[in-house]
Amino acid sequence: MKFDFEKSLTYITNDAQWVSKLLIGALLVFGCFAIFFIPVLLMLIFHSAIATVCALVVCFIASIVLLLAISGYFCITSNLRINDDNALLPEWKDFGKFILAGLKYFVGYFIYVLPLFFFGSIFMFLLVFSTTSSNSSAFSSVISFLIITLIGAAVLFLYVLTMLFMPLMLANFNKNLKILSFVDLKDAFTMLKDNVGNYAVLILLFIAISLLGQVVCSILCLTVIGIILLPVVYFYIYFVLADVIAQFVNSKS
């Protein structure tokens, strides 16, 4: 099976309510950032540090909830496309379901990148420690440099691997929306074994969509109307990626 990218671009129009669902998602994307204007306004109006800090905390929590819902909607959309090629877009009514799916996504993602974060933190600690240490001999400095260089190379290699297989683990998660699917290497690589060629196409599509999205968004930022349309473009990209992932899961080399 080959990727039908045109289908990924247009499948949302099969849903009679696709415009309203897209706009709701775009409004949530806008809300994730616009909500932080509230503490600024409170500070300008009331000049109260306590009120500003409290509002900032509340807005931060609200932004996280919105981000979870957006991510959950993306994952559930992809899951529906995996299980039914003719599936319509999810209704926005069950908001809690999207928040839960988004929470699962972020927990799974955190577990997946935890090794990279752990070894990256060790590398940064050793790097900072070596640069601040002033009473070491020339020999120990050379040894420290070699060790830090090797660890840095290992961290870089781990970073490349983590990013390389990120779409694969995301696809594996979207199949059943289970947290541990993000780190179920056996299941993921079983899927990859029959889809090596398609996975290469998937990575290229991820890169192309991301680059194209950045270009379009950069152009939109040049006008006020374009800035207003930015959340719509962002959420539309989520729809495209959801179907691209679904096509990969259902494809065979």
Find the largest Cα–Cα distance for the chain.
Answer: 73
Going by pLDDT thresholds of 50, 70 and 90, the confidence category of residue 134 is low
Q: Please state, in angstroms and rounded to a whole number, the distance separating the CA atoms of residues 120 and 124.
A: 6
pLDDT category, 195, cuts 50, 70, 90? confident
Q: Give residue 220's identity as a one-letter amino acid code.
A: L
Structure tokens at 187: 């299941």
- Within 133-195, residue ranges assigned H as helices are 138-164, 166-176, 185-193
d(C-alpha 219, C-alpha 227), whole Å: 9
Contact call for residues 164 and 206 (beta carbons, < 8 A): no
Segment of 44-58, 139-153, 165-179 carrying the highest mean pLDDT = 165-179
Q: Over pLDDT 90: what percentage of the chain? A: 52
Predicted local distance difference test score (pLDDT) of residue 136 = 57
Whole-model pTM? 0.87
Give pLDDT, residue 140.
Answer: 65
pLDDT for position 143: 73
Kindly report, residue by residue over 78-101, the tens digit of the pLDDT.
999 999 988 999 999 889 999 999
Using one digit for the tens of pLDDT, what is the confidence trace for 152-170?
888 999 999 999 999 999 9
CA 90 from chain centre, in angstroms, equals 19
| pLDDT average, residue stretch 52-56 | 88
For residue 1, pLDDT over 70 is answered with no
- The pair of three-digit structure tokens given for residue 144, joined into one six-digit string: 């420290």
